[in-house]
Amino acid sequence: MMMLEGRTAVVAGGAGSIGGAICTLFAEHGAQVLVADIAGDRVQAVLDEIHAAGGRATGLVADLTTEQAMADLAEQAAALGPTDILVNCLGHYLDSVEPFEQTAEQTWQALYEINLLPVLRACHAFLPGMKAQRYGRIINFSSTEGIRASPSLAVYGAFKGAVDAFTRSLAVEAARDGVIVNSIAADKTRSYQTNFLQVPPEYEHLIPTWTPRGRFADGDDVAKIALFLASDLCDWVVGSTLLADGGTIAAGGWYRTPQRWSTQPLLHQFFEPAEANLSRPRSLQ
């Protein structure tokens, strides 16, 4: 079943582990894809994969945090015909993991310019054309860090929460014109920006503690959700944030230890003899 046959999709940040998987899956389902990212080698790798499978794709290597690059993206997309699908994957925490009082306004501005401003610019550029044709799908990427508390990531979390708030309001504005807008909040996904790709094999047994699903996600897991949101199957989901997190938000602070589910896991219990753990009070096992 080709779910995007005849559609044209623009994917901003399309060469990341999630963005690249979205591009290849969309092409597999018949879409013509414009892959836009700052990483030229990864853009080419995505294009090569799509072309090798017989799909249609073009690329744009640009810093999409700039106004000019977003204008270039809109211009290149227009040359392909009307844009039916816009995916805003661009975002980064910029290694800004520190207490809020130690952050600087320069960091706040940089986080704004990579996490929220490109979403506003892209939607502003592509929404009028979608409204004119009375069809469109917009998928914005927020994060679970914009939903739960984000200690030492307060500003990043604030902008991700803003993406969800913007998505809801824009979705209500645009739905009657046939433009469906939603967002995806991902967590525990192997990506270039997190250290989940770098977990040594000897620590793999800890992963079921961190995710109820029992594993980390790959880009393909999230791409499948984007495919639904981009397709005609998605006509009654409007202004929602779909969690692509393996259950971490639903777990709400519950973790699976070697013995039980607990809200107060002890990490060292994974590295000691089982009898030592069994000797503790039940609440600490």
Calpha distance 171→282 (Å, rounded): 48
What's the angle, vertex CA 165, arms to CA 162 and CA 170, rounded to 5? 120
Q: Percent helix, strand and coil across the chain, each rounded to 5?
A: 50, 15, 35
- Mapped onto helix, strand or coil, the DSSP state of residue 196 is helix
Q: How far is CA 205 from CA 30, 216, 266, 277, in A?
A: 39, 11, 15, 17
Q: Are 190 and 223 in contact (CB under 8 A)?
A: no
Residue 93 annotated among the catalytic residues of the structure: no
Calpha distance 217→92 (Å, rounded): 18
DSSP notation for 47-100:
HHHHHHTT-EEEEEE--TTSHHHHHHHHHHHHHH----EEEE-----TT--S-G
What count of other Cβ atoms lies within 10 Å of the Cβ of residue 16? 25
Among residues 112, 135, 156, 255, the one annotated as catalytic is 156
Calpha distance 204→67 (Å, rounded): 42
Query: b or e along 57-84 (b: 16 or more beta carbons within 10 Å of the residue's beta carbon)?
Result: bbbbbbebbeeebbeebbebbeeeeebb
- Maximal CA-CA distance, the chain: 69
Active site residues: 156
